[in-house]
Amino acid sequence: MIIKEARIDDRLIHGQIVTAWIQETKAKAILVADDKAASDEFTQKLLKMVVPQGVQLIIQPVKIAAELVKRDASDVPVLLIVRSAAEALALLELGVSVDHWTLGNITGRKTDQERVNVLKYVWATQADADALKAIRDAGVEVRAQSVPNERSYDIIDLLGKARFYR
């Protein structure tokens, strides 16, 4: 498999993925690396319902997804999606190599006082910021971008402006 896009998005698969990112990447498969989704039959059914016909959906726990990526030598273009920065970092630590991670949506709730709004569609905790910085420190670009035709942002710069790093 060839990872065309590695995306962090707490919604996993949604309209922007289906209408923009699959087309942009010409992905023939979506690999969701997420422990929760892999163990939740209802979530799996929902995700399968929104994936376009002709696009394979693979939902695996993070560790199994890492092994799959490392051993699959096919030339199938894949969109890799994780729910959180922690899962992206875990994949990196398990030996999954990507040249960048694109941060999509990370929601914030008014009741979640640990989360800070750093961009219209990105709310982060200190743990999120630390994981994203660790990914960047490992030499992997980390950017925020909602859809392919919109501007991308250096998320580490935005986290610094939000005072996660002094």
Residues identified as active-site: 14
Q: How is residue 7 annotated by DSSP?
A: E
Q: Kindly give the pairing relationship between strand 122-124 and strand 29-33.
A: unpaired
d(CA 36, CA 74): 27
Q: Please state the φ and ψ torsions of residue 141, each to the nearest 5 degrees.
A: -65, 140
d(CA 85, CA 10): 10
Give bridge partners of residue 79 from the DSSP assignment.
5, 30
Query: HSE (CB half, 13 Å, CA atoms) of 141?
Result: 11
d(CA 14, CA 19): 9
